[in-house]
Amino acid sequence: MPTTSAIPTRERIVLASAELFRRQGYAGTGLKQIVGEAGAPFGSVYHFFPGGKEQLADEVLRTGGAFFLALYEAIVPPAETLNAGIEAFFAGAGLTLEATDYADACPIATVAGEIASTHETLRVATADVFESWLDALARDLGTAGAEEPRALALSLLALLEGAFLLCRALRSTEPMRAGAGSALALLPQPKEIR
């Protein structure tokens, strides 16, 4: 059990759940394991989340989605060019996969695939998160001169998500490097020669 007593119980539960959900999925994670990892009493889950595991998962998905969006905003828009920003984002994804032994990928993908047909509330949460990422990406693609920013944003996000899945299955960052190359090829070409 990690010594995390400086962090409030509610937050420890959310953090532990986020880690477990993305490594082993929603159905494969029990409340008992969550409170164990969080170092929290069993009853505390229902105290903070009266709706139980589904309410907890809804918050975990939305929190993880907001964090990933903040990561995007911190990396891509400040970069010198959109190309450089996208390249850095894909490279960071590959490094994170390696550093976590291919466990830590997208904060919502594992659960998103698992619950899309079975838990409508959680599906809506994943849709909201994906849309928030697509909005930010389409905004920057539009600024960079993309003709169809929304369609291109969908493709770049699909490339990233698909590469996450392939990297984890193959235990290699080769799919992420290939995805990065294709992402750059799809970006609008800078108007001036650099």
Supply 73's token pair.
């905003």
142 binds its own copies per the rule CB under 8 A: no
Residues 16-55 that bind its own copies (CB under 8 A): 23-28
Residue in this structure with the two tokens 């799919």, named with its chain if needed: 175
CB of 9 to its own copies, least distance (A): 26
Residues 96-135 that bind its own copies (CB under 8 A): 101-103, 109-110, 112-114, 116-118, 123, 126-127, 130-131
Q: 88 or 184, CB closer to its own copies? A: 184
Residues 32/97, Cβ–Cβ less than 8 Å:
no
Half-sphere CA count of 172, side-chain side, radius 13 A: 7
Supply 148's token pair.
């169809």
Closest residue by Cα to residue 72 from 138, 116, 9, 22 = 138
The three-point CA angle 166-169-175 to 5° equals 30
CB of 78 to its own copies, least distance (A): 25
Instruction: Provide the binding-site residues for its own copies, judged by CB under 8 A.
Output: 23-28, 101-103, 109-110, 112-114, 116-118, 123, 126-127, 130-131, 150-152, 154-155, 157-163, 165-166, 168-171, 174-175, 177-179, 181-182, 185-186
